[in-house]
Amino acid sequence: MAETDLGASGHDTHQHAGTAPMVEEVTDFEVLEIALRELAIEKGLFTAEDHRRYTEHVEQLEPAAGSRFVAKAWLDPEFRRLALDDAIAASREMGVDWLHPTGFGTPSDFTAFELLEDTPTVHHVIVCTLCSCYPRPMLGMSPEWYRTPNYRRRIVRWPRQVLAEFGLYLSEDVEVRVEDSNSKHRFMVLPVRPDGTEGWSEEQLAEIVTRDCLIGVALPKPGVTSDAVRPLHPAIRPVTSD
């Protein structure tokens, strides 16, 4: 990982590759980030260990938890009832504790979680018009597009057009219900289990519940196990997995 080839890294428009050991130029954001973290630790606001532990917590979050949650709700009527009644308790039952890692939850996600139950005539989609509120404990970090003013401006006013841009065309007998998660509740969509999945295991079902289905900009389909591929804006020095 230490040796990098600029030409093959996919970052050839930049001066640096992702894991270059020697840094020739730092960005203003990197400088400010380091300066603030150093000062905060030196002043005793938090410790380097706090920062490391929280980073570990963030790095293990992924949308797979949400996929399993939905698959389980499709298969187990009792779990489904619990999930709709008390989604925090249902999360705990499947191993996601919203009180982690601080004992009172993550500061930005709070501990109020609600499942939005789709029916053949109601389709939910989530947004936060004011910032980017998103159920991180269930889905991990939000996708970039979810945070853009563009998505936030338009989905609450032209939802059918925006959903169509995601490839989701809804008929007129389906009510579109946009959930603007502007306060402490975090939301996730419980889609309708699609036809053609009879007899499937929880693992099989979880595979077709992609992150976009849980936001509500896609519907689960047999055979579709990943979100639509979008252009990826590369990082100068991306987060490394090690």
One-character DSSP codes across 85-146: H-HHHHHHHTT--TTTTTSS--TTT-SEEEEEE-BTTEEEEEE-SSS----HHHH-SPPHHH
User: Do β-strands 175-180 and 122-127 pair in parallel, antiparallel, or remain unpaired?
Assistant: parallel
- Which of 84, 141, 192, 224 binds another protein (CB under 8 A)? It is 141
Answer whether 217's CB lies under 8 Å from 164's CB: no
Q: Which two tokens stand for residue 155?
A: 């989905």
Answer whether 142's CB lies under 8 Å from 195's CB: no
| Contact flag: residue 81 with another protein (CB under 8 A) | no
- Which of 27, 119, 201, 204 binds another protein (CB under 8 A)? It is 27
Angle 28-42/48-59 helices, nearest 10 degrees? 130
Least distance (Å) between residue 94 CB and another protein: 18
Question: Is there a catalytic annotation at residue 213?
Answer: no
CA dist 34 and 40 (Å) reads 10
The nearer residue to another protein, 71 or 140, going by C-beta atoms, is: 140
Least distance (Å) between residue 215 CB and another protein: 11
| Contact flag: residue 178 with another protein (CB under 8 A) | yes
Contact window for another protein (CB under 8 A) among 73-81, 109-117, 191-199, 201-209: 109-117
- The amino acid sitting at 209 is V
The nearer residue to another protein, 74 or 98, going by C-beta atoms, is: 98
Question: Is there a catalytic annotation at residue 108?
Answer: no
Say which DSSP state 228 is in. Answer: P
Among 9, 67, 91, 128, the active-site one is: 128
Among 67, 91, 108, 133, the active-site one is: 133
Instruction: Give the list of residues 6+ apart from residue 30 with CB closer than 8 angstroms, or none.
Output: 237
| Contact flag: residue 13 with another protein (CB under 8 A) | yes
Q: Using CB under 8 A, count the residues that bind another protein.
A: 97
| Contact flag: residue 26 with another protein (CB under 8 A) | yes
Contact window for another protein (CB under 8 A) among 48-56, 63-71, 74-82, 198-206: 48-56
| Contact flag: residue 6 with another protein (CB under 8 A) | no
| Contact flag: residue 75 with another protein (CB under 8 A) | no
